[in-house]
Amino acid sequence: MARLRSTPLRIKPAAARLVPPSGEAARLALRERSRPNWYSLARWRELRLVALQRDGWQCQQTGALLVGTYPAWNSAAVDHIEPHHWDPDLFWDLGNLQSVTKQWHDSEKQRRERAGRG
């Protein structure tokens, strides 16, 4: 009778493949890959433009005109008033959008979200 030879292991053990991300940067990268990328869709670009036109290209928080080119402080950002947390109803709701300056969005809005006030 022929002897069976052991074959080399071709699949890595599951433990080696399922290692949780190490460090905050890796954790955030994994989180981003698991979310829908609605911001890259033409539907978002169209809705964003509708919101900017509705608001007259003016920041709804500071009154500044949104005339800058990214990344200028007065470049246009369209903000979700109530954080959507990837809820499609909140994300695509025009009534939940406001035109703001990049500076306001990147400073005051982020400070409010970190404080849990949306």
Overall pTM surpassing 0.85 (yes/no) = no
Residue 30's pLDDT is what?
A: 75
**Does any domain span residue 63?**
yes
**Does any domain span residue 28?**
no
- Answer yes or no: is pLDDT of 3 > 70: no
- Cα–Cα distances (Å) from 10 to 4, 7, 13, 17, 99, in that order, read 17, 8, 9, 13, 54
- Of 28-32, 54-58, 96-100, the one with minimum mean pLDDT is 28-32
**Does any domain span residue 96?**
yes
The two structure tokens encoding residue 53:
């036109």
**Does any domain span residue 3?**
no
Residue 75's pLDDT is what?
A: 96
Structurally, the chain folds into a number of domains equal to: 1
**Does any domain span residue 52?**
yes
**Does any domain span residue 4?**
no
CB 61 within 8 A of CB 108: yes
**Does any domain span residue 74?**
yes
Residue 116's pLDDT is what?
A: 81
- Answer yes or no: is pLDDT of 65 > 70: yes
Structural domain range at position 42: 37-114
